[in-house]
């Protein structure tokens, strides 16, 4: 049996990853360590609690004692836990530095002593910053703009330093924007969907010209599994969805699914230092045999249907969502 410690496993991507590996791999044991902050929801993983292969632990990656008890018992750490909402980081960066940098350091210190087999550090394309043309590769310099992306860039460099200095078997994953079921409703796509379900307008920054690349969360979890199986320690792998569009195009796509027109768009003041475009290429991941399977429009329809069918899940969370002011 391979023993996994998943940090942040009750969050959006973490819970989808646990769902994927429990379904597709039989010889595994999963411990989910989650602090259950506003974006960590135990309802996301409640279905697993009757599975003997799954264990939930309520705790904090910054707690060296607790981490020191858990990491030595496992073979693999998959580190999803992070503060991740840019607007929150602009208002207050403290929690982002605390969790994303110091929390990652706590895990790495214990991993250094524990001789684990793999340490997957999950990151973001935002660490590269913005570019008007072309796409970033893994060798490109980091140029983060927000306190959030700066804290993730710091944790990436720290993780890779533990590989170089201590041979902790770290692999870094930098993913483009995920969307899909169980995403906290302050993020763009679920915020837009749930607002429209309630007959409310969509808040859109500036003129909606900023460009993002989207990947369905199931593709991202498959990519993470591929990197676990075939990727190498000390390497960085970009995970791209190859579905670039500007925010206005995305908004119109969602509006069409609701049979609504542009009168449901509310243009709001732009975010400070708003990156114009994120774009990454994922040739290294393709070299491992991974192919993105999802069609953006089909997966968006599937996501909309999920939120329509799971109002009992997202309605209690809207009160904690940080939405555009």
Domains observed in the chain: 2-178+215-239 (3.40.50.720)
Distance from C-alpha of 162 to C-alpha of 165, rounded to nearest angstrom: 5
| pLDDT 10s digits, 169-228 | 999 999 999 999 999 999 999 999 999 999 999 999 999 999 999 999 999 999 999 999
Q: So which residues are the catalytic ones?
A: 125-126, 148
HEC readout, 47-100: HHCCCCCEEEEECCCCCHHHHHHHHHHCCEEEECCCCCCHHHHHHCCHHHHHHH
Q: Which long-range contacts (CB under 8 A, 24 or more apart) does 101-104 make?
A: 101/151, 101/154, 101/155, 101/158, 102/62, 103/60, 103/61, 103/62, 104/61, 104/79, 104/155, 104/158, 104/159
Cβ-proximal residues to 270 (8 Å cutoff; 6+ apart), any chain: 205, 206
Would you give per-residue pLDDT tens digits along the chain (325 residues)?
999 999 999 999 999 999 999 999 999 999 999 999 988 999 999 999 999 999 999 999 999 999 999 999 999 999 999 998 888 998 889 999 999 999 999 999 999 999 899 999 999 999 999 999 999 999 999 999 999 999 999 999 999 999 999 999 999 999 999 999 999 999 999 999 999 999 999 999 999 999 999 999 999 999 999 999 999 999 999 999 999 999 999 999 999 999 999 999 999 999 998 999 999 999 999 999 999 988 999 999 999 999 999 999 999 998 876 665 3
What residues are paired with 118 via a beta bridge?
76
Q: How far is CA 75 from the centre of its chain?
A: 22
Question: What confidence score (pLDDT) does residue 320 get?
Answer: 72
What residues are paired with 244 via a beta bridge?
213
Question: What confidence score (pLDDT) does residue 118 get?
Answer: 98
Write down the pTM of the prediction.
0.96
Question: What confidence score (pLDDT) does residue 323 get?
Answer: 61
Question: What confidence score (pLDDT) does residue 85 get?
Answer: 81
């Amino acid at each position: 049996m391979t023993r996994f410690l998943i940090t942040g496993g009750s969050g959006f991507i973490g819970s989808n990853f646990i769902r994927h590996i429990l379904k597709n791999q039989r010889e595994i044991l999963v411990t989910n360590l989650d602090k259950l902050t506003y974006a960590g929801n135990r309802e996301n993983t409640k279905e697993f609690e009757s599975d003997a292969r799954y264990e939930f632990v309520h705790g904090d990656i910054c707690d060296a004692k607790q981490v020191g008890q858990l990491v030595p018992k496992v073979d693999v750490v998959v580190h999803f836990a992070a503060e991740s909402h840019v607007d929150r980081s602009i208002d207050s960066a403290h929690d982002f530095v605390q969790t994303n940098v110091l929390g990652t350091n706590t895990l790495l210190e214990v991993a250094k002593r524990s001789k684990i087999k793999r340490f997957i550090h999950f990151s973001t394309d935002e660490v590269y910053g913005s570019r008007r043309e072309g796409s970033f590769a893994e060798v490109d310099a980091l140029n983060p703009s927000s306190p959030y992306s700066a804290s993730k860039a710091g944790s990436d460099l720290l993780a890779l330093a533990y590989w170089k200095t201590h041979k902790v078997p770290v692999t870094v994953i930098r993913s483009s924007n995920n969307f899909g079921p169980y995403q906290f409703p302050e993020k763009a796509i679920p915020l837009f969907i749930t607002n429209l379900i309630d007959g409310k307008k969509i808040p859109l920054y500036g003129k909606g010209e900023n460009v993002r690349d989207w990947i369905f969360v199931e593709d991202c979890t498959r990519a993470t599994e591929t990197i676990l199986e075939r990727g190498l320690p000390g390497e960085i792998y970009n995970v791209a969805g190859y579905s670039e569009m500007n925010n206005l195009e995305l908004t119109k796509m969602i509006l069409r699914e609701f049979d609504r027109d542009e009168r449901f768009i509310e243009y709001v003041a732009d975010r400070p230092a708003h990156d114009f475009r994120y774009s990454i290429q994922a040739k290294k991941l393709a070299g491992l045999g991974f192919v993105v399977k999802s069609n953006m429009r089909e997966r968006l329809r599937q996501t909309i249907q999920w939120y329509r069918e799971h109002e009992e899940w997202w309605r209690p969370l809207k009160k904690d969502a940080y939405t555009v002011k």
